[in-house]
């Protein structure tokens, strides 16, 4: 059975990529993931602030204060000075140690001078670069157009500096989703990763304070990726990778069926260990055998919006539509 797939022009042995996380922040961790069956890894994100800090440091301590004012102390507080060079070393050493593709990741929010730095990532040997962009739309003075423009500006800025494939990893807080993602797909990227999962607020009822939800996903969260990958597959000009809620071999089969090229996983490995990759692949093989599929291309995209006769469930959001469509009404 052939599980190989192509993602952003990279031919990988199977559709499981370990997503950007602490799992991929050391060479030993990456080697262990490769030995356990991961087809590729996305490195833990380097933050735009870290790169900006490095640039400012190189041009004198004062520049940091001038550029960031009050933020300077905060940046100093959490950025260890050698972070940026360590990141480049991580790419170089990972490339020397493993044969699977190593995808670097930058968490960014603006297109500034820092985008030059992408060249160093390419020179260090990264096979591709994932841009992890999230601009929290929490400022009531900033329009959605202005926020969306920034995504295009960042991609355009980075694209002028690197030739390696670029992926964009985003959240799902956009109003004109299909239009926005389709436009992004022809803006110089080769992959869209749907979706990143962000830390969400919670409230502690005992202490009456604000806390954060758990960092690990629940399997029900797969629904967002299923819907949007299914709607966009074959209609965007780049590959699609699923992220969030792919917890087992059968959910992997589902994201491939709706049209993903691969899945990026994190929670499943945090919870079950790297050996779980083989369990997922075995379950995928068993399911494929039950349908007499011999390769991923035999079924990838079969259940996408574009390829099915009645895609109502992709667009259905409210119960009334569902019940009326089936000739039944809610009691
Ligand atoms: C501990 C932890 C650290 C993460 N760090 C990053 C990161 O640096 N950059 C990023 O793009 N995503 C990061 N993620 C998000 C994951 O890559 C992934 O998108 C998310 O966990 C959803 O996938 P899952 O359901 O398989 O966990 C992190 C996730 C976890 C659990």
Q: Averaged over 176-196, what is the pLDDT?
A: 97
Mean pLDDT across 295-313: 95
Q: What residues flank ligand 1, with Cβ below 6 Å?
A: 19-22, 44-45, 105, 107, 132, 169, 196-197, 215-217, 243-246, 265-268, 270
Residue 70: what pLDDT? 54
Task: Tell whether the model's pLDDT for residue 65 goes beyond 50.
Answer: no
Please give the distance, rounded to the nearest whole angstrom, from the Cα atom of residue 216 to the centre of ligand 1.
8
Q: Quick one: which atom of ligand 1 is closest to the CA of 130?
A: 11
For residue 266, the CA-to-ligand 1 centroid distance in Å is 6
pTM (global) more than 0.85: yes
Q: Which residue has the tokens 């602030």?
A: 49
Looking at the CA of residue 221, tell me the nearest atom of ligand 1: 25
Q: What is the pLDDT of residue 63?
A: 45
- Does residue 72 have a pLDDT over 90? no
Q: Which of 196, 245, 254, 270 to mutate to test the pocket of ligand 1 (most atoms within 8 A of CB)?
A: 196
Residue 24 confidence class, pLDDT cut points 50, 70, 90: very high
Residue owning the nearest CA to atom 2 of ligand 1: 21
- pLDDT band at residue 81, thresholds of 50, 70 and 90? low
- What atom in ligand 1 is closest to the CA of residue 215? 31
> Per-residue pLDDT for 213 more than 60?
yes
- All structural domains of the chain with their residue ranges: 5-325
What mean pLDDT is predicted for residues 66-88? 63
Give me the DSSP letters along 155-172. HHHHHTT--S-EEEEE-S
Averaged over 99-108, what is the pLDDT? 96
Ligand 1 atom closest to Cα of 45? 8
Of 17, 21, 108, 217, the one to substitute when testing ligand 1's pocket (max ligand atoms within 8 A of C-beta) is 21
Residue percentage of the chain with pLDDT more than 90:
76
- Cα of 212 vs its chain's centroid, Å: 21
Mean pLDDT on 73-86: 65
The mean pLDDT value of the chain amounts to: 90
Round to whole Å and give the CA distance between 170 and 198: 10
CA of 265 to the centre of ligand 1 (A): 8
What lies within 8 Å, CB to CB, of 26 at 6+ separation is 90
Q: DSSP E strands: which ranges in 163-200?
A: 166-170, 191-194
Ligand 1 centre from 20 Cα, in Å?
5
DSSP code for 227:
H
| pLDDT in the model for residue 53 | 79
Q: Assess whether pLDDT exceeds 50 at residue 284.
A: yes
Mean pLDDT over 207-211 rounds to 96
- Per-residue pLDDT, averaged over 5-13, amounts to 98
Q: Domain 5-325 carries which CATH code?
A: 3.20.20.70
Mean pLDDT of 239-262: 98
The whole-angstrom separation of Cα 248 and Cα 303 is: 19
The pLDDT assigned to 277 comes to 98
Residue 223: how many CB atoms within 10 A of its CB? 11
Phi-psi bin for 134: left (phi > 0), alpha (psi -120 to 50), beta?
beta
Tell whether the model's pLDDT for residue 142 goes beyond 60: yes
Distance 234 CA to ligand 1 centre (A): 26
pLDDT for position 328: 56
Q: In this predicted structure, which of 122-131, 193-202, 277-286 has the lowest mean pLDDT? A: 193-202
CA angle, corner 29, sides to 28 and 34, nearest 5?
95
The tokens for 269 are 């490995």
């Amino acid at each position: 059975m052939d599980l190989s797939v192509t993602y952003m022009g990279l031919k990988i042995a199977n559709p499981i990529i370990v997503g950007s996380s602490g799992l991929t922040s050391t060479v030993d961790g990456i080697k262990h993931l490769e030995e356990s069956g991961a087809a590729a890894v996305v490195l833990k994100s380097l933050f735009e602030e870290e790169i900006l800090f490095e640039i400012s440091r190189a041009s004198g301590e004062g520049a940091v204060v001038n550029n960031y004012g009050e933020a300077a102390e905060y940046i100093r507080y959490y950025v260890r000075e050698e972070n940026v060079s360590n990141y480049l070393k991580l790419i170089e050493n990972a490339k020397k140690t493993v044969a699977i593709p190593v995808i670097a990741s930058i968490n960014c929010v603006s297109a500034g001078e820092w985008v030059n730095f992408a060249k160093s990532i390419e020179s260090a040997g990264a096979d591709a670069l994932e841009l992890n962009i999230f601009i929290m739309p929490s400022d009531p003075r900033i329009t959605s157009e202005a926020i969306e423009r920034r995504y295009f500006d960042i991609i355009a800025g980075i694209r002028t500096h690197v030739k390696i494939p670029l992926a964009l990893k985003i959240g799902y807080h956009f109003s004109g989703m299909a239009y926005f993602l389709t436009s992004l797909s022809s803006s110089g990227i080769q992959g869209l990763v749907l979706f990143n999962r962000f830390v969400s607020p919670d409230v502690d009822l005992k202490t009456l304070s604000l806390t954060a939800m758990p960092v690990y996903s629940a399997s029900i969260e797969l629904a967002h990726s299923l819907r949007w990958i299914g709607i966009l597959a074959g209609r965007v000009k780049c590959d699609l990778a699923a992220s969030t809620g792919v917890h087992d071999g059968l959910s992997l089969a589902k994201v491939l069926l709706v049209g993903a090229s691969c899945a990026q996983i994190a929670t499943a490995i945090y919870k079950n260990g790297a050996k779980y990759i083989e369990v997922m692949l075995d379950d995928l093989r068993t399911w494929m055998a039950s349908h007499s599929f011999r390769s991923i291309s035999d079924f990838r995209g079969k259940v996408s919006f574009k390829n099915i006769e009645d895609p109502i469930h992709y667009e259905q959001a409210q119960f009334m539509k569902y019940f009326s469509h089936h000739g039944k009404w809610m009691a």
